[in-house]
Structure 1
């Protein structure tokens, strides 16, 4: 009985790592636009950066300053939003994981189009 229980426990753990969570898949740029307007616009209106003007939300700057951007742009943006860095505050706890994914999708879509 213990072996059977251990087998199922391991099987569920492996499935949890292999199957991605559909709730946070890519985010919704339309919803992200609203969250961005309410939380990010003060410093990043129009993709700019009022604190550090050389670190904008342009695709080139995101690629230059965000670790892993070229591999997974939305994950790199979401990480920055979640953890913050330097003058940018961390939004973990202020925004839900879904809101962070939505803002990440919005920022990437705007950066991809050149703001």
Structure 2
């Protein structure tokens, strides 16, 4: 029985690692679409037309404690200051995908 459980665990791990890059790419593609439809008006090219000190560039995300998918997800969901909340306007999946996209773009330098 233990051998069977270990074998199943190994298969699940292998499948997860094998499929992860495909799922991640699909999420980033969807995140890019969400960004284009909901964010680009204020954040074109990773900038910020409302507050130039709070861009989506990696240095600004780090300086503002926003350099994680969790922090970005919270910001998009709940809004803050001039940024509106997108809870109820975007699905949880949309928000997670756009957060992953923003972080990915920031790490690549927009």
Q: TM-score, normalised by structure 2?
A: 0.74
1:105 aligns with 2:104: no
* Greater per-residue helix proportion: 2
Query: Per-residue deviation at 1:58?
Result: 0.6
Query: Per-residue deviation at 1:66?
Result: 3.1
Contact 1:78–1:104, Cα closer than 8 Å, also in 2 = yes
Stretches (4+) displaced over 2 A: none
Question: What stretches of structure 1 of length at least 5 have no aligned partner?
Answer: 1-24
Specify the SS of the correspondent of 2:90: coil
Q: In 2, Cα distance between the equivalents of 1:29 and 1:90?
A: 21
Q: TM-score, normalised by structure 1?
A: 0.71
Aligned residues: 87
Q: Which residue of 2 aligns with 1:29?
A: 28
Question: What stretches of structure 2 of length at least 5 have no aligned partner?
Answer: 1-22
Q: CA RMSD in A?
A: 1.7
